[in-house]
Amino acid sequence: MLPSLIVTVSGVLTFLFLFWKRLREDYAPGIIFESAFYIVLGIGISQFVSLRFLPNWFFWAGILGSIAGIYLGHLRFRIRFYESLEGLVIGLLPWVSFVFLKDSVIHSSLNSFLAFLVMLLAIFIFYYLDVHFREFTWYKSGKVGFAGLSTLAIIFTVRSAIALFGIGVLTFSGKYEGAFSATAAFFCFILIYNLSRSTE
């Protein structure tokens, strides 16, 4: 109970800080933190429901909850989707890494420790792409959103590949994990393509 509480509190505080840091130049603190509250609330509700009725699907439930939170923030404050998505991605990556680290320590799980390392690598990839994405000649629009979507696409692609080998990971939902992750990765690549062509 205590380790889970520590991970949750640390994850939420880290998420709030990184989400605020990502959006602070374009939005007032009140707007940022209220939008972040919607996301955390969406994740909390989805986790509460999932862990009681569909425990194997808590990862995907959390994604749906966070997307619902982003949508509420957009409706209420007109925060641009891709900006809030970038804040969501970089804010949630450390939180998810804490979850994997906790599981690796408590259950001596090598797979969870490797997943923790993958999350750390994903954080590095996000910041690298965030700094250099405007240097990519094929990404003509130069719009914000590339780092977040690309990082998500890579994560889901890796998840799909691992699932195909039948390797169990804490956040996997079972035999359909490969298909769901591959679909999510494909959707992210489509959004990247559309964003690269956007002129608005």
For 119-133, write each residue's pLDDT tens digit.
Answer: 999 999 999 999 988
Whether the per-residue pLDDT at 14 is higher than 60: the answer is: yes
Alpha helices in 79-176 (DSSP H): 81-106, 110-132, 146-164
CB < 8 Å & 24+ apart, contacts of 12-21:
12/40, 12/95, 14/91, 14/94, 14/95, 14/98, 15/39, 15/40, 15/91, 15/92, 15/94, 15/95, 16/40, 16/91, 17/91, 18/87, 18/90, 18/91, 18/94, 19/87, 19/88, 19/90, 19/91
Q: Considering Cα of 39, then 63, then 192, then 71, what sign does the dihedral take?
A: negative
Total domain count, the chain: 1
Whether the per-residue pLDDT at 199 is higher than 60: the answer is: no
Query: Quick check: 39 and 66 in contact, CB under 8 A?
Result: yes
Distance of alpha carbon 180 from alpha carbon 159, whole angstroms: 9
Model pLDDT for residues 140-164, shown as the tens digit of each residue = 777 888 999 999 999 999 999 998 8
Helix (H) or strand (E) holding 69: helix 58-77
Whether the per-residue pLDDT at 67 is higher than 90: the answer is: yes
Domain limits for position 41 = 2-197
Q: Provide mean pLDDT across the span 65-76.
A: 92
**How many angstroms separate the first and last alpha carbons of the chain?**
48
